[in-house]
Amino acid sequence: MGSLQKTAVCLLFLFISLNASDSTFATFSCSDVKTEYNKPAVISCIGSKNITNVIVKRCENCSNRNSCSETIINTWKEKHSHEEGRIQLVLQHNVSELHIQEVKATDQGGYQWYLYSDAGEGNGCTTLEVTDPEIEPSLTWNGRKLTCLSPIGHRQRQVHWFDGHGNNLTGSASLVSEEAESGLTSLTSTLHEKPNLTASEYCCTVLYDVHTKRNKTKCLSAHKVVTDYLRFTSNPDQEILKTTKEHVPIILVLIVLVLCCFAAVLYYRHRQRAMAKGNFADLLRTLLPILRQHEKAEENAPNQEV
């Protein structure tokens, strides 16, 4: 009887120990993710039981737990999103997912998970790797120089110039690098050329990997560029000549109008003078008889007195 009681107690103790062990040391599977710049990404951790609460911290890398300082998710405090919803937590039974929209270069690094489930607690760290953006460059010519713009990318990328015959012109180009988002740069390379562009074609190549030769290239036909430039450029001399030709008819019309106005004024003044002369002659014709009568009256006055 005593041995049966001892056996029952041992079994009960073993059962409680196993439950406590499962509750304390629950296992979760978390996977690393690699994604492209400005694309969406999903980081997930999966447990054996229903996950109830999650805490996620950002780390520089998973090997350095002391770098995990910023808490971006904490369901205990009703914090289910970060950066105005760009980063959101989605809980579905035993799966915990972190959805990241429009991945930035700063999103790269470690994500430390603290997970709480019906099976117990656990933690894990996942790494998000963001591949650098590889955007096709833009190539323009303003009549004096060719400009190649690589708007964003990693610092190690290079810009090279080639003509239509495969000649490397990079040595004749200048390069300006400007800081962009979180360690990325914007590159502007300028190749000075003669206005007539001596080669048939010019190509700007952005080299992203010197080992694999992965690149993006943009080319311009010299003939098309020169034609477009001569047609659309804002050359001051050409603009002045063009403007003058367009304004010649307007100027001639204005001159004719001015001459007509001047002629009308002269005609009006001449008519006024003619009318004034005619009125003066009529006045003289009216006054002459009166003056003559007055003279005769003065001549007869002495004779009457005698």
CATH number of the domain at 214, please. Answer: 2.60.40.10
Query: Using 50, 70 and 90 to split pLDDT, how confident is the model at 303?
Result: low
Cα distance between residue 173 and residue 160, in whole Å: 9
At 179-196, the pLDDT tens digits run 887 678 999 999 987 655
User: Tokens in use for 53?
Assistant: 């609460």
Check whether residue 151 and residue 114 sit in a common domain.
Answer: no
- Which residues constitute the domain of residue 113? 24-131
pTM of the predicted protein model: 0.55
Check whether residue 149 and residue 194 sit in a common domain.
Answer: yes
Q: How far apart are the first and last CA of the chain?
A: 199
Check whether residue 101 and residue 191 sit in a common domain.
Answer: no
In-domain check, residue 272:
no
Query: Using 50, 70 and 90 to split pLDDT, how confident is the model at 5?
Result: low
In-domain check, residue 281:
no
For tokens 């020169």, name the residue.
226
The distance from CA 296 to its chain's CA centroid, rounded to whole angstroms, is 107
Could you tell me which residue, 197 or 242, shows the higher pLDDT? 197
* Domain limit, last residue, from 114, 131, 148: 131
* Domain limit, last residue, from 92, 114, 131: 131
Check whether residue 161 and residue 119 sit in a common domain.
Answer: no
- Tell me the β-bridge partners of 145: 192
Check whether residue 28 and residue 127 sit in a common domain.
Answer: yes
DSSP the chain: -HHHHHHHHHHHHHHHHHHHHHHHS--EEE--EEEETTS-EEEEEEESS-EEEEEEEEES-TT-GGG--EEEEEGGGTB-EETTTTEEEEEETTEEEEEESS--GGG-EEEEEEEEETTEEEEEEEEEEEEPP-PPPEEEE-SSEEEEEEEEE-TT-EEEEEETT--B-GGGEEEEEEE-STT-EEEEEEEE--TT-SSSEEEEEEEEETTTTEEEEEEEEHHHHHHHHHHH---HHHHHHHHHHHHHHHHHHHHHHHHHHHHHHHHHHHHHHHHHHHHHHHHHHHHHHHHHHHHHHHHHHHHHH-
Residues in the chain: 306
97 neighbors 43 (Cβ within 8 angstroms): yes
At 87-133, the pLDDT tens digits run 999 999 999 999 999 998 889 999 999 999 998 999 999 999 998 88
Check whether residue 115 and residue 155 sit in a common domain.
Answer: no
Cα distance between residue 147 and residue 192, in whole Å: 9
Average pLDDT, the chain: 80
Check whether residue 227 and residue 163 sit in a common domain.
Answer: yes
Check whether residue 121 and residue 191 sit in a common domain.
Answer: no
Cα distance between residue 262 and residue 276, in whole Å: 21
In-domain check, residue 273:
no
In-domain check, residue 95:
yes
- Tell me how many domains the chain contains: 2
Check whether residue 31 and residue 125 sit in a common domain.
Answer: yes
Rg of the chain over CA atoms, in angstroms?
A: 48
Residue 54: is its pLDDT beyond 70? yes
* Domain limit, last residue, from 184, 207, 234: 234
Check whether residue 120 and residue 144 sit in a common domain.
Answer: no
**High-pLDDT (> 90) share of the chain, %:** 42
In-domain check, residue 157:
yes
